[in-house]
Amino acid sequence: MSLKLQNGTRLVAATHNPGKAVEIAALLDGRFDIVSAGDLGLPEPDEIEQTFMGNALLKARAAADRAGLVAIADDSGLSVAALDGAPGIFSARWAGPDKDFGHAMKKVEERLEEVGSGDRAAWFTSALAVAWPDGPCVVVEGRVDGTLVFPPRGERGFGYDPIFLPEGRDQTFGEMDPAEKDALSHRARAFEKLKAALFE
């Protein structure tokens, strides 16, 4: 079978977040007919794997097999070198049920103080998986390296953006023009790899 995706193919975005489904559709250049797992009433699987790729694959596989359609899923987060890669796959969970990233960024700062390391190296990872129903999967990962800054800087972006200074830049993701972030982000890099693998 071909692992290329033809324009107009119906794809399930394995997410219950309507904003994320729209973002995925745009990052795939509007080539596909995207429906979200939420729209199809599919259950949300527990993210029980230990890696970004593992969780992306698990979500794509579950949606593809349930829906009988090719599915795409992502998993992403911030990893801090001095914290052995934390929060990593737990990035969203560190913000708690209220999705309070002020709290999550504070927690990163406190953990760094606890370990007493001056190492501020960190990176964002985005894993993307595409699964065919009862068939193969393709998975790719994009990464952007940088350093952490405290206090947080900038009101733009989301999540941990205000504490992340990408390598070679003097503005955090929270200060940067969104188009500039989109040009170098982990997500953009992962989508480039996915498109190279799957587009005709």
Binds ligand IMP (CB under 6 A): choice among 158, 178, 182, 192: 158
Whole-Å CA distances, 8 to 11, 92, 174: 9, 32, 35
* Number of residues counted as binding ligand IMP (CB under 6 A): 15
75 is a site residue for ligand IMP (CB under 6 A): yes
Residues 6+ apart with CB under 8 A from 96: 103, 104
Binds ligand IMP (CB under 6 A): choice among 36, 79, 172, 185: 185
157 is a site residue for ligand IMP (CB under 6 A): yes
Binds ligand IMP (CB under 6 A): choice among 24, 64, 108, 124: 124
If the CB atoms of residues 53 and 82 are measured against ligand IMP, the closer one turns out to be: 53
Q: Least distance in Å: CB of 104 to ligand IMP? A: 7
If the CB atoms of residues 132 and 173 are measured against ligand IMP, the closer one turns out to be: 173
Q: Single out the residue of 149, 23, 32 nearest to residue 80, CA to CA.
A: 149
Active-site residue, from 75, 145, 161, 182: 75
AA identity, residue 19: G
Q: Least distance in Å: CB of 187 to ligand IMP? A: 6
According to DSSP, the residues that pair with 146 across neighbouring strands are: 122, 166
Q: Are 151 and 172 in contact (CB under 8 A)?
A: no
Binds ligand IMP (CB under 6 A): choice among 78, 108, 122, 129: 78
Q: Least distance in Å: CB of 134 to ligand IMP? A: 25
The question of whether 98 is a catalytic residue gets the answer: no
**One-character DSSP codes across 9-71:** -EEEE--S-HHHHHHHHHHTTT-SEEEETTTTT--------SSHHHHHHHHHHHHHHHHTSEE
161 is a site residue for ligand IMP (CB under 6 A): yes
Residues carrying an active site annotation: 75
